[in-house]
Structures are given as C-alpha cells and as structure tokens.
Chains A and B, each alone.
Chain A
Amino acid sequence: KAGVTQTPRYLIKTRGQQVTLSCSPISGHRSVSWYQQTPGQGLQFLFEYFSETQRNKGNFPGRFSGRQFSNSRSEMNVSTLELGDSALYLCASSLPSAGDLHSGNTIYFGEGSWLTVV
C-alpha cells in the first residue's frame, strides 16, 4: 500500500514568487492536513481538508491557501513568498475519524517538500 506522496521534494524560490505543493494521500483516505516545520517553531498546523472542504485552519496568514480535489489529492499554495517561509512542508492523510478510539485510525505523514526561499 503506497504511503503519502508529496511533490516536489525540494525546491528553491525567490522572494515574492508563489509556490504550489502537491500531496497524494493514502488510497481511501479522505482527510488531508498540511503542516509547516521549521527549526524555530517546530511542527505547526496549516489547514485540513475533508471531502474538498476546508475543515480546520491554523494561525497562518492568507498567503497560505489550499484545496482538495474530488480524488482526495490536495495542493497548497503560498503566494508572495518571504524568507521566513523556508521550511519543510508536510502533508498528512487519514480516514475521517483518526484518533477515535472506536475507529482506531491514525494519521500518516509524507516525506515532505523542502522549500527554500532566497
């Protein structure tokens, strides 16, 4: 069973540009979440999508956006890039009720996309 797939793995962008990252969840998983990981702030939740709808949103500016397609694949976009956006962006997928005692589901992460803004 394939895991969570993220593309691209590495990319370098210039300040002011925009970037789009892609995530293919595990087959059958309809919940996709995005996280930003930096040495200073650790892992921080960006947003979650379920059935093409944003279900939760973290405390990030509007430059960070995302969407989910009917096949559960998701993309996130960062516009007007800043140096501080340099980070590892992680995608996670799960069945709808991960963490529920009765479902026993869990949340799986991809390998991430390394973004460097110069």
Chain B
Amino acid sequence: EDQVTQSPEALRLQEGESSSLNCSYTVSGLRGLFWYRQDPGKGPEFLFTLYSAGEEKEKERLKATLTKKESFLHITAPKPEDSATYLCAVQPSNNAGNMLTFGGGTRLMVKP
C-alpha cells in the first residue's frame, strides 16, 4: 500500500528564515510526486511534479527536490504570503489512472 508522511505537521518561521519541508514516501513504483499549496477554504493549487530521483524544480522562493525515498520543499527567505498548507502526493506507476495518495500536509506560518 502506498504511504506518504509529511513532517513537520506545523512550522512557524520568521519572515526571511529559510527552511525545508519533508515528504517521505513508500510506493511500489513512482510515476510522479506532486507538491500542492492549499490556502484555508480553497482547493489545492499545483506547484510541482517530480518524476525521478535527483530531479529539482524551482518556482520563486520554492525549490522541490526528489530522492528515491523522500522529497523536500525548500523555502528560501519566506514571506507572510507563503503561509499555507503544503501537500505532497504520489502517483504510482502500476496504475494507469490519475489516483493520488496524499500526505497529511505541513501547515506553514510565516510571521512578519
């Protein structure tokens, strides 16, 4: 059974204080690992898809990396508007469909 664990559950940062969020996964074969951002009361907003170990993707202050067992979302010099819940999900390669298994998320709070 596919499993995704995110840590920490919650993270409080001062504006400008860089940090990393972790996503550990167990999957029989990985087709893709997805990162989403979710604001309160809204649907998840797509950030990145990573496909193979060693891959990195960047978007503004965010950089996602992938190994064979985990993914990291690095946040450089965060701003208060980066406050949100960050969700990680895996898509198995042994399934032809678009079914995602999500982790519990990391709730990020950035104080000014």
Contact = CB atoms under 8 A, between A and B. Distances in A.
B46 A107 contact: yes
A43 B42 CA distance: 13
B43 A42 contact: no
Interface size class of A (residues with CB under 8 A): 20 to 34
Interface stretch (A12-20, A61-69, A75-83, A93-101): A93-101
Interface size class on chain B is: 20 to 34
Contacts of A112: 42-43
A111 B42 contact: yes
Interface in B32-78: 32, 34, 36, 41-46, 49, 51-52
The secondary structure that dominates the B interface is loop
B105 A42 contact: yes
B32 A109 contact: no
B31 A99 contact: yes
B109 to A, nearest CB: 17
Contacts, number: 74
Given A42-B105, A112-B43, A101 B52 contact: yes
A50 B44 contact: no
Interface string A88-118: 0010101010111100101111111010000
Contacts of A107: 34, 46, 98, 100
Interface in A14-68: 31, 33, 35, 42-45, 48, 50, 55-56, 58
B65 to A, nearest CB: 17
